[in-house]
Amino acid sequence: MQISASKALRVIAVAALLSVPFLSANVRAAATAVVSGINVANLDTTCKPCDDFYQFANGGWKTAHPLPAAYPSYGAFTVLALHNRDVLHGILDKAAASKAKAGSNDQKIGDFYASCMDEAAIEKAGTTPIGPALALASAAPAENLPTTLAQLQTAGSGGFFGFGAGPDAKNSRMNIANVGGGGLGLPNKDYYLKTDPASVALRQQYVAHVTTMFTLLGETPDAAAADAATVLAFETDLAKVSLSAADRRDPQKTYHPMNAAQLQALTPNFDWATYFKASGVPTPAAFNVSAPDYMTAFSADLKTWTPAQIQTYLKWRVVHGAATALPKAFVDANWDFFAHTLQGSKAQLPRWQRCVAATDGSLGEVLGQVYVAQTFPPAAKARALDMVKTIKATLRDDLSHLDWMSEATRQKAVKKLDAFMLKIGYTDKWQDYTKYHVTRASYMANLIASSRYERARNLAQIGKPVDRTEWGMTPPTVNAYYSPSGNEIVFPAGILQPPFYYANADPAVNFGAIGAVIGHESTHGFDNTGRQYDAMGNLTDWWTPEDSAKFDAKAKCIIDQFDASEVAPGVHEQGKLVQGEAIADLGGLTIAYKAFEKWQAKHPRQTLDGYTPEQRFFIGFGSVWASNDTVQYRTFLANTNEHPWDQLRVNNTVSNMPQFAQAWFCKIGDKMVRPEADRCQIW
């Protein structure tokens, strides 16, 4: 049961942290008591910057912050996220203790949080709250599958495929119905198909986990083991026709417009008219089918899968999705496989932290209103916007002078940059949760109600104009993103604070930290994915063939570098998967450095804490990626995620920049200096 609320907005890029008011370069110049912004205790001065800059910038931090048992990865991002979570915790404790008016925002967040914290009530309820969903799943022969799936998806479960509203890639101002693959329990198709010993062993552990979950539902050990084997076989069939992680990020491979008749012809064994009726929506006029081959295979399999197999699979989807909100035995079993086995965590997060995160997931814009009122005044928003505009202007100047880009492409690139929509801190139009009813009596009931509310809200947008005021992240989120269909860069309030920006630090560190984040998100508009969308956010080819070839050659340099980068013994990054983030890391830091150089040219140079302004810039960049992690987490990241390992995000990036070598007096032959012929550079 997919019980967490989700936004329809697709976000592609992710960056780093920040929060309290940060001053623009102009305002900063007037401040007093300038400090370097560097915590020298976080450095490892026994390591030469030219040998391993990540270790130099973060070695002291890594020693002082051993990996906590509850985390597979713990870093500067986590520290800030926990700070924000403490703020939310205080808000929710107060709301839960209040006697707020029924239907008010305080009542909703207070009762939701209280229901999550009421472990005694959850234990007493057992699996009763998911009883209706299990009953639906247990009576799902092929002839009524469309109705069953629609009902399960509305309640937060489902399987097989996803269905919802989202911007039309070639008409980005209108929402279209989207149909896509899904329904795997393991992270992606490779986990089912790889034949190396580690992958085989992991599948065996997965089957053991599924067996445990069926046993907790009341099945005998033999029946549970048989059902778990059915689930693995079922999901393996789906995995064989699923898109790879890299292909899912390629808009050309995921855009297949169709009308209703074409969709029905593609999947003759599934009655879409019945499905739409049961979903409560009129038959959409237009669809995007992200993976036609997957849907064709799904339809064909409906003739070979038995009713019993379908029922077993759907029962698994129900209990798998609901596991974190069920009694402790389910929670523990779910954590043991997905957090401990897959990622290396050694303990669960405290209950209150999980409940704060769940409240943010279901009622994020209610909770977010209180959060920004306490932490992010209008002046902070204005200062953040000023910094974003500074970096954007530098990127505009860079695009205007790129020696490898033709004038025809350049004009359209600048036009696209000028059209960027800038979202800072929080939305200008808060979401209305009036139709989402929250009770203190049942956590699972609240999650199901959240799913019903969000699904109805999403499906109502099919065929209607895109609401460009919507955000894909809540205000306390420590992250940022670029949306290609919206052509927008978005920085929630949660990331706008140290270590990304220090109000009393010199600009060098701030340009290296928050400046690089802003540059990262901005250059996403021109990475391997973003460059395929025009100023309106429409998927279209606006590059000359010659410029496209030049860009692809530069991108291949990044791909090759990361293909050769090892994150664990025998485990390498997937260059095609991480290229977008790696391009944005390099482009963002390059643009931020150029913006810093312009500022520095107009101000006196200062050596602070023994480091030059240029050196402090790079320390500022490196420090935000400080982290410790497990080998399992690094392997999981490399197999599933478009973001490279933190150490590589630093070292692979700076080793491509001659400005870094100059700042630290590195020479050819040093590990952090690539020969000119091997150096990647785009912006």
Residues 399 and 297 in one domain: no
* pLDDT for residue 137 is more than 80: yes
Domain of 504: which CATH number?
Answer: 3.40.390.10
* pLDDT for residue 353 is more than 80: yes
Residues 303 and 381 in one domain: no
Q: Measured between alpha carbons, how far is 110 from 545 in angstroms, rounded to an integer?
A: 56
Q: Measured between alpha carbons, how far is 67 from 74 in angstroms, rounded to an integer?
A: 6
User: For 64-86, b where at least 16 C-beta lie within 10 A, e where not — what string?
Assistant: ebebeeebbbbbbbbbbbebbbe
Instruction: Provide the pLDDT for residue 17.
Output: 28
Instruction: Provide the pLDDT for residue 467.
Output: 97
Which pLDDT band holds residue 500 (cuts at 50, 70, 90)?
confident
Average pLDDT over residues 238-252: 96
Domain of 200: which CATH number?
Answer: 1.10.1380.10
* pLDDT for residue 396 is more than 80: yes
* pLDDT for residue 114 is more than 60: yes
Average pLDDT over residues 28-46: 75
pTM, 2 dp: 0.93
Instruction: Provide the pLDDT for residue 466.
Output: 97
What would the pLDDT profile of 604-650 be if each residue is shown by its tens digit? 999 999 999 999 999 999 999 999 999 999 999 999 999 999 999 99
* pLDDT for residue 259 is more than 90: yes
Name the domain count of the chain: 2
Q: Measured between alpha carbons, how far is 474 from 340 in angstroms, rounded to an integer?
A: 27
Extract the tokens encoding 175: 């929402």
The domain boundary residue, chosen from 325, 347, 367: 325
Q: Measured between alpha carbons, how far is 535 from 415 in angstroms, rounded to an integer?
A: 6
* pLDDT for residue 27 is more than 60: no
Q: Specify the 3-state DSSP secondary structure of 291.
A: coil
521 classed as catalytic: yes
Q: Are 577 and 642 in contact (CB under 8 A)?
A: yes
Query: Picking from 141-145, 422-426, 496-500, 556-560, which range would have the lowest pLDDT averaged per residue?
Result: 141-145
Average pLDDT over residues 124-144: 91
Q: Which residues contact 479 (CB under 8 A, 6 or more apart)?
A: 14, 15, 16, 473, 492, 494, 495
Instruction: Provide the pLDDT for residue 487.
Output: 97
Residue among 515, 664, 520, 538 at smallest CA distance from 592: 515
Average pLDDT over residues 451-464: 97
The domain boundary residue, chosen from 310, 325, 340: 325
* pLDDT for residue 335 is more than 80: yes
Average pLDDT over residues 663-667: 98
* pLDDT for residue 564 is more than 50: yes
Instruction: Provide the pLDDT for residue 24.
Output: 29
Average pLDDT over residues 52-71: 98
Residues 296 and 392 in one domain: no
Instruction: Provide the pLDDT for residue 30.
Output: 32
Amino acid making up residue 584: A
Q: Measured between alpha carbons, how far is 381 from 377 in angstroms, rounded to an integer?
A: 7
Q: Measured between alpha carbons, how far is 642 from 12 in angstroms, rounded to an integer?
A: 9
Residues belonging to the chain: 683
Residues 500 and 571 in one domain: yes
* pLDDT for residue 291 is more than 60: yes
Instruction: Provide the pLDDT for residue 13.
Output: 32
User: What's the half-sphere exposure (Cβ side, CA atoms, 13 Å) at 556?
Assistant: 6
Instruction: Provide the pLDDT for residue 388.
Output: 94
* Residue 627 belongs to domain spanning: 376-424+496-683
Which pLDDT band holds residue 505 (cuts at 50, 70, 90)?
confident
Catalytic residue chosen out of the listed positions 271, 365, 521, 642: 521
Domain membership of residue 371 (yes or no) is no
Instruction: Provide the pLDDT for residue 142.
Output: 62
Percent of all residues in the chain with a pLDDT value above 90, rounded to a whole number = 90
Domain membership of residue 201 (yes or no) is yes
Extract the tokens encoding 145: 């599958």
Residues 302 and 405 in one domain: no
Domain membership of residue 613 (yes or no) is yes
Domain membership of residue 405 (yes or no) is yes
Instruction: Provide the pLDDT for residue 2.
Output: 36
Query: Picking from 14-18, 38-42, 163-167, 467-471, which range would have the lowest pLDDT averaged per residue?
Result: 14-18
585 classed as catalytic: yes
Instruction: Provide the pLDDT for residue 504.
Output: 76
Domain membership of residue 523 (yes or no) is yes
Extract the tokens encoding 654: 């700076």
Which pLDDT band holds residue 4 (cuts at 50, 70, 90)?
very low
Catalytic residue chosen out of the listed positions 585, 614, 629, 642: 585
Extract the tokens encoding 233: 């076989």
Instruction: Provide the pLDDT for residue 33.
Output: 58
Average pLDDT over residues 120-145: 92
Domain membership of residue 47 (yes or no) is no
Q: Which residues contact 583 (CB under 8 A, 6 or more apart)?
A: 523, 527, 528, 555, 558, 682
Domain membership of residue 174 (yes or no) is yes
> Mean pLDDT score of the chain, rounded to an integer?
93
Domain membership of residue 168 (yes or no) is yes
Average pLDDT over residues 352-361: 98
